[in-house]
Structure 1
Amino acid sequence: MKKILAVEDSKVAQAQVLDILRGEYEVTLQEDGALAKSVALEIGPDLILLDVNLPGMNGYDICRQLKGDVATREIPVIFLTSCDTSGEKVKGFEAGADDYIVKPFYPEELVARVSLHLASRREKQMAVEFERLKLLREMAVAISHEFNNPLTAILWHLHLATKELGEGNEKARTHLTDLKGELDKIRRIVARLAEASRDAKTEYVMGEAMIDVNSI
């Protein structure tokens, strides 16, 4: 269940948020603005609903703190406030807010905005993960290519050395055979890396595919 932190000192607004979102989301309430960031760091919410006028610290300063910390900057912040002037909205967005909902609000509006920003965050996270795994795949293919050339040369020299031993010298022949066996294991691992983009895919959004590193 997705977690939502609602930083709100109004008991009426708290009751509204809980009534609308509880059941679908795990909602945590916080009244003191000065504690908002520490609570966010503690519970790791997926989204934050933030009032502007709060005891301890105002919402704009809280938002700046959240967006200035690498641990919380990617968490969507939606202001919930009765301030309906364009100037206040601009201040909110300048502070880093992702959205702005004016009180009183319709339940459907709150649900829609929350759902939209949670979905948007998930898409961003998946896009970053896809790029990371895409890079990993490219590295795997490049590494396998770099390994193949020296492996081929080593196996060829082993073959020549084995032929030149001729009859006898069974102890040396055994060592060469064991060495070839270990090199064959390395070659199979390299082959798995080269084929990672084909045989280690898992489904991604919109028809894309990702590498499942656990199956490499």
Structure 2
Amino acid sequence: MKMLKQISTFVTALATIAILIMVFADELKHDYDKLSLNRQMETKEIEPKIVISDVVAATDFDKGLKAIQSGEFKTALAQWAPLAEEGHAWAQYNLGRIYSEGHSVPKNNKTALKWYTLAADQGHAKAQSNLGVLYDLGLGILENNETAVKLYTLAAEQGNAIAQSNLGTMYDHGNGVSTNYERAYMWYNLAAYNGDPKGAENNKSIAKEMTPVQIAKAQEMSSRCLLSEYTDC
């Protein structure tokens, strides 16, 4: 009787271990799948194209930009931090970039999230796009695909190619929205039109999964969206 009880306990333990392994493997697969979707962030350049009416702010911005061009990120941070605190969206976005990429400071997604959010709330498309990635992948905040879709959409409708490509991925894989190949194709197509190589690559890939009728409809959607200046997408 004692032997049977020991065997029963052993079997139960094995079953528990098997369940834990399955759960852990599923979590690993989820993490891998998210990374394999290859979300893109705005990383090409710190925001240089701005118009500043405030002479002092413009001077401080120029000092920060020159520091960046020389690789002196700490100097740029010192110049831009006060401007970001004053509410300049471009400075807030640039600080988000510095912290999310870890330039001269420890990489800190939570601090990047703060600055991206402040800039995004003012309609800064690049900030909205990068903030979308943080929510999408759960960097510095709990993962929230629905919020990521909203942020990508805000930026995409301003013509931001990276956001358009990322939004296409969300529709392609059904993250935060229902899977919709036609809308995925449309956003990939628009991203490609606006110069994003990944959008062009993804557009060709998804076309292989679509019927000619679906592709024709998606192309018509792309044209309508573009001609309406993103008001009818």
TM-score, scaled to structure 1 = 0.28
More strand as a share of residues: 1
Q: Which has the higher contact order (CA 8 A, sep 6+)?
A: 1
Query: Who wins on radius of gyration, i.e. which is larger?
Result: 1
